[in-house]
Amino acid sequence: MLSFAVESNGGAVDLQTLILSLSRYWADAGCVVQQPYDLEIGAGTMHPETFLRVLGPEPYRVAYVQPSRRPADARYGSNPFRLGRHLQMQVILKPSPDDVQRLYLASLEAIGIDPAVHDIRFEEDNWESPTLGAWGVGWQVLLDGMEITQFTYFQQAGGIDLNPVAAELTYGLERITMFLQRRNSIYDIDWGVGVAYGAVRLDDEREASVYGFEVADVEMLRRHLEDWEREAGRCLEHDPPLVIPALEATLKTSHLFNLMDARGAVSVTERVGLIGRIRRNAIRVAKAYVAQREQHGFPLRGAFEEAG
Amino acid sequence: MATFLLELLTEEIPANGLPGARRQLAEAIGKGLEAAGLGGAAVRALSTSRRLVVVAEGLPERQPDRTERVTGPPASVAYGKDGAPTKAAEGFARKVGLLLDQLEIDSTPKGDYLAATVLLPGRPTAEILAELVPAAVAGLRFPKMMRWGRGEHSFVRPLHRVTALLGAEVVPFELFGVGSGRTTEGHRVHAPTPFELASADSYAGEMERRFVAVDPGERSRAFTTAAARLVAEVDCRVHPDDELMAEHVELVEYPGLLLGGFDEAFLGLPREVVITTLRHHQKCLVLERMDGSLAPFFLAVVDRRDDPEGLVRQGNEWVIGARLADARFFFDEDRTRPLDELVPGLQRLEFHRRLGSVADKAGRVGELAAAIAGQIGSPLPAAELARAAGLVKADLLTGMVVEFTELQGVMGGHYLRLAGEPEALWTAARDHYLPLGFEGEIPASDIGRLLGVADRLDTLAGLFGVGELPSGSRDPHGLRRAGQALVKIVAEAGWELDLEAASRRAVELVADRIDGDPAAAAAAVSEFLAERVRRYLIDVVGVAFDTADAVMAAGWAKLPELVARARSLEAARSADAFRWLALGFKRVRNITDGQPDGSVEEAAFQQPEEGELHRHTGQFGERLDECLAARRFDDAFAAMAELADVLERFFVEVLVMTEDEATRRNRIALLKELGAQFMRLADLSKLQIEGGNG
């Protein structure tokens, strides 16, 4: 039986302190602190504060937590290392500052990781999202052998070459907490105030697994995917195009696809076709966004000058 | 003489780009210096995970002076009728900086021209370097380039500092918006404070004091020494992994190595799982006991010289423990369902866009394996092969193989063994991806061999059928290795399998999915396999290339027989008789190629040598019948050698291309008869014999 309370974590940072400290740190570094997007999405990258803000000439700096849903990664709550929904801390710095590595390392100090007594390495790991028409190059950051952050210089999003280039930092929050607290299960980490992660999350991990792998109505998902795909098209064809509604409709199709995929309902050939359809809409949204910002005179040009 | 130092301090460069970058840099700078007349310097390129470094020793301060002949206007334009210099002559004199009476006339085929020899003083080496280096760096190619910041530049990673010194002086230039200077910094943790370099020669010492080992060779040696010391502490040895060790060298600035341990209980996992878990995610080396069994220890690379609070070791041990626990979770979970239940799911796994799912492929492979079994007289029933063809691929859907693709086959083997399946089947799952090309053992069981051959033959037939052939160095599907492995299995299993017929059958099975003429695809697969067979004879059997060509010309599609024939010819060909026979046979081919067939009329013989050759050819044919039936190729080639004298006498005494047509035809028929018998063994005209022009 899982107990409600956790053992003392020996002074290591807990999950909510991690979130608060990173938010504070990046706010001080000149970031807008945003909130999670209120849709089911697979990664912080899909949040418009990343996917759209990295496009076009305007600078931007933002930090936020994003619950990220990956139905196929769920394990009925029985695997101590894997979750169907986890928390990412997402930071976008556009353009990428010259001292972005130093800024990042200082963020680790802000959560109690002193580089002087740890081994921190940047090992090549490139990133690509076929559904978003996006890719970048960068590293996984290893702390004493543990992957704690994905660090990416975005090169392209929505099929558009990015100029300026944004740096994206994605902290895996549960992993970092687990590592710092030396827990052997995610469910045993201290969320904060002595409450265990499992006490908060275990039931919904179990239920989401049952739903995603056994219960989800594939025909319904397929129908909704088609509906939302059409809706994205309607928003884009509206005059003027409705950028955010079109993106939201596209993000829904992406999540519906992930659910169908987890359920084993996507055949080989269908898979390539569906990803292509989602990407086409993502690319259209990206173009519409840049056009809209241009029409508005790129209002954020000149912002964030003080930052860093 | 001075030393030039270039250091580019960047963000961490991908390990796979560094060896190539060093080669390119040394070459570009070396060639550039040579082109500028500054050759002879020792140019070395070095690197760490975030530095590219060039050191060139023994550079002069300036280029040597040179003279150059400069041609001016035609003499007819430069001087008036009265011989007085014109404006054109004065202009040329000004341009070359000489007085009018120092100009000379060069006679050329186009006429006389004003000319002058000018002295070009050598430019300072620093100036040359300031032009050469930015071009050399901008020309570097990495597997993946990137842009950063305002996106103006493209390089492997953002560049932060450029240190460029010739002796004690800064070589001034700009790279990607960064100006060169003499400031650099040491190790990020141990010596981060920027400092000024007094001279290029002090670089190595300064960096060493700041915990940066700039020379990859030195880091490699340090790793080896440290590994030997650490493994001795626990009475173990390193499970060798050259590829991983080469990568380690590129991952750090300081070559730190750490010994860690994990819970012995994880050694209950299959050996490959432990090794792959540590290697794949953590790039850790695994340790073995002296008896070869795995030990619960690992070596991790760290980019630091110490572990002051023990946190680095603790952290690595925690991660390894978590990774192994995760692997154990997969291992336990995967075994809750028999692999048979996963087979239908192979329909969801794509083999190739045009060639269908893995399930489609397994269906074809089962059928092809049964056809091959029939040909080689294997008693394995078709139904058993059909089941096995799906079952050996089922591990692709297990959690472990989804996580670690490189364990495909290995996991299927373990899971089937643990489920109590017969050894011939579980080893087939384990082995059917083996060997890799010509390297390694062929599968242990007949099922493994049949599936291994059928799987690859189906791949070749399908991909050739849709036009995805390897070309030049591009072979994305690894078809050459697949072909090599196929040939090795057939040869070493000793199968009397006709590879041309098998290729046709494979193409038939996939015919509804491919373009064009199936017969052409089958011919292309055969031709491709013939080339692998040739390489097999040369690289693995070890015969000379022309021995391979000679025996293959007499039929190549049945490998055990071909290999034996090649070995016998290789042994026989060094004898004098064969040297002569090869020349003689070339002559036979030259005379008979393109001539119409005819029968030998003994009554038309004019000379005793004709009868003798005819009789010996007949006897040779009979001996060949016996030898070939009994696979006695040494005897067959010995019998062939005995014909050398007879053939020589024939050529000395008999004129084949005689005036009389009937006689000539009969003699040609006689030689054709001989040629046909020879060609049952080898085409000796393919042998490269010294002095042999036929």
Here the CATH number for the domain that contains residue A230 is 1.20.58.180
Residue B544's SS3 state is coil
**What's the mean pLDDT in B14-25?**
97
> Are A20 and A116 contained in the same domain?
yes
Of A175, A195, A211, the residue at which a domain comes to its end is A211
A283 vs B579, which has greater pLDDT? A283
Residue of B nearest to A113 (CA): B311
Residue B225's SS3 state is helix
> Are A249 and A101 contained in the same domain?
no
When pLDDT is cut at 50, 70 and 90, the band that residue B694 belongs to is: very low
DSSP B145: -
Instruction: Say whether pLDDT at B589 is over 80.
Output: yes
Q: Is B252 in contact with A126 (Cβ distance < 8 A)?
A: no
Query: Which secondary-structure segment (H or E) carries B70?
Result: strand B66-74
- Number of Cβ pairs closer than 8 Å across A and B? 124
- Give the Cα separation of B543 and B566 in Å (integer): 7
- Give the Cα separation of A131 and A125 in Å (integer): 19
> Are A204 and A74 contained in the same domain?
yes
Residues in A closer than 8 angstroms to B14, CB to CB, are 124
Q: Is B151 in contact with A269 (Cβ distance < 8 A)?
A: no
Whole-angstrom distance between the N-terminal and C-terminal Cα of chain B?
Answer: 62
Residues in A closer than 8 angstroms to B252, CB to CB, are 121
CB of A184 within 8 Å of a chain B CB? The answer is yes
> Are A169 and A249 contained in the same domain?
no
- Asked if the structure places residue A300 within a domain, the reply is no
In the stretch 109-128 of chain A, residues with CB closer than 8 A to chain B read: 115-124, 126
When pLDDT is cut at 50, 70 and 90, the band that residue B612 belongs to is: very high
CB of B96 within 8 Å of a chain A CB? The answer is no
When pLDDT is cut at 50, 70 and 90, the band that residue A10 belongs to is: low
- Give the Cα separation of B344 and B360 in Å (integer): 10
- Give the Cα separation of A241 and A293 in Å (integer): 12
When pLDDT is cut at 50, 70 and 90, the band that residue A1 belongs to is: very low
> Are A94 and A161 contained in the same domain?
yes
Residues in A closer than 8 angstroms to B309, CB to CB, are 117
Angle between helices B643-653 and B608-629 (to 10 degrees): 150
- Give the Cα separation of B296 and B289 in Å (integer): 9
**What's the mean pLDDT in A248-271?**
90
The pair of three-digit structure tokens given for residue B324, joined into one six-digit string: 């192994």
> Are A201 and A230 contained in the same domain?
no
When pLDDT is cut at 50, 70 and 90, the band that residue A9 belongs to is: low
Q: Is A81 in contact with B14 (Cβ distance < 8 A)?
A: no
Closest CA relative to residue B157, chosen from B13, B297, B54: B13
In the stretch 216-275 of chain B, residues with CB closer than 8 A to chain A read: 251-252, 256
DSSP labels, B173-184: -EETTEEEESEE
Give the CATH number, domain containing residue A83.
3.30.930.10
Neighbours of A304 (CB within 10 A): 19
- Asked if the structure places residue A7 within a domain, the reply is no
Neighbours of A184 (CB within 10 A): 13
- Give the Cα separation of B133 and B173 in Å (integer): 8
- Give the Cα separation of B228 and B451 in Å (integer): 42
The pair of three-digit structure tokens given for residue B368, joined into one six-digit string: 């092809």
pLDDT at B348: 83
**What's the mean pLDDT in B438-465?**
96
pLDDT at B253: 98
Residues in B closer than 8 angstroms to A119, CB to CB, are 256, 302-304, 307, 312, 315
pLDDT at B692: 45
- Give the Cα separation of A25 and B45 in Å (integer): 40
Residues in B closer than 8 angstroms to A96, CB to CB, are 148-149, 158
**What's the mean pLDDT in B512-540?**
95
When pLDDT is cut at 50, 70 and 90, the band that residue A305 belongs to is: confident
Structure confidence by residue, pLDDT tens digits, B541-561: 999 999 999 999 999 999 999
Instruction: Say whether pLDDT at A102 is over 70.
Output: yes
When pLDDT is cut at 50, 70 and 90, the band that residue A5 belongs to is: low
Structure confidence by residue, pLDDT tens digits, A178-215: 999 999 899 999 999 999 999 999 999 999 999 999 99
pLDDT at A268: 67
Of A173, A190, A211, the residue at which a domain comes to its end is A211
Tally the domains of chain A: 2
> Are A61 and A139 contained in the same domain?
yes
Classify the C-alpha dihedral B423-B428-B430-B436 as positive or negative. positive
Whose structure tokens read 């999540």? A255
The pair of three-digit structure tokens given for residue A274, joined into one six-digit string: 């569906």
- Give the Cα separation of B663 and B655 in Å (integer): 10
The pairs formed by A193-200 with CB atoms below 8 angstroms and a separation of 24 or more are A193/A14, A193/A16, A194/A5, A194/A6, A195/A4, A195/A5, A195/A6, A196/A2, A196/A3, A196/A4, A196/A5, A196/A6, A197/A15, A198/A2, A198/A77, A199/A2, A199/A3, A199/A4
Segments forming the whole domain that contains residue A269: 217-295
When pLDDT is cut at 50, 70 and 90, the band that residue A308 belongs to is: very low
> Are A256 and A160 contained in the same domain?
no
- Asked if the structure places residue A303 within a domain, the reply is no
B179 beta partners: B174
Q: Is B311 in contact with A98 (Cβ distance < 8 A)?
A: no
Closest CA relative to residue A145, chosen from B228, B48, B308, B314: B314
> Are A240 and A271 contained in the same domain?
yes
Structure confidence by residue, pLDDT tens digits, B221-237: 999 999 999 999 999 99
Residue of A nearest to B144 (CA): A137
Compute the nearest-CA separation of A161 from chain B (Å).
Answer: 10
> Are A250 and A160 contained in the same domain?
no
- Mean pLDDT, chain B, integer: 94
> Which of B15, B284, B326 lies nearest to residue A124, judging by beta carbons?
B15
Instruction: Say whether pLDDT at A6 is over 80.
Output: no
Phi then psi for B45, rounded to 5 degrees? -110, 135
> Which of A79, A146, A268 lies nearest to residue B329, judging by beta carbons?
A79
A153 vs B93, which has greater pLDDT? A153
Residues in A closer than 8 angstroms to B320, CB to CB, are 145
- Asked if the structure places residue A305 within a domain, the reply is no
Structure confidence by residue, pLDDT tens digits, B472-509: 888 888 999 999 999 999 999 999 999 999 999 999 99
Of A185, A211, A237, the residue at which a domain comes to its end is A211
- Asked if the structure places residue A5 within a domain, the reply is no
Residue of A nearest to B156 (CA): A137
Is the confidence metric ipTM above 0.85 for this complex? Answer: yes
> Are A90 and A48 contained in the same domain?
yes
> Are A273 and A239 contained in the same domain?
yes
pLDDT at B693: 42
Residue of A nearest to B303 (CA): A119
Classify the C-alpha dihedral B412-B415-B421-B424 as positive or negative. positive
When pLDDT is cut at 50, 70 and 90, the band that residue B690 belongs to is: low
Residues in A closer than 8 angstroms to B15, CB to CB, are 123-124
Instruction: Say whether pLDDT at B29 is over 60.
Output: yes
Structure confidence by residue, pLDDT tens digits, B380-422: 999 999 999 999 999 999 999 988 999 999 999 999 999 999 9
